[in-house]
Structure 1
């Protein structure tokens, strides 16, 4: 699984520049690597928390913006 995950990660990085589902391949490769590596699992957990926080900030910003436009 570690080899397959690494290959997917590399292909995902290449597909960011070339046509293809680069981000999807990077996520899938990261998940496969995280199954074998506790360090990779921790990195993915921190990334998940950062994305969740950013999403909350964005939703709060949109709500404030909507309130401002109504007034």
Structure 2
């Protein structure tokens, strides 16, 4: 799968409330998006092949909620 979608995301840019953060921080295993010649490997199993780090999502949500006040 070409990374055209991923490159449009804020990977490490720090333009959002999670300044300095990386979208891959939201994954349990960020290695699933290892690039090879501009492409990301298609998962072999069912689904997207990712597991969301829900604790990290909750922490970032709390920070975002504080900043929105």
Pairwise same-fold verdict (TM > 0.5):
no
More strand by share: 2
The structure with the larger Rg is 1
- Report 1 or 2 for greater relative contact order, CA contacts < 8 Å, sequence distance ≥ 6: 2
* Structure with more helix by fraction: 1
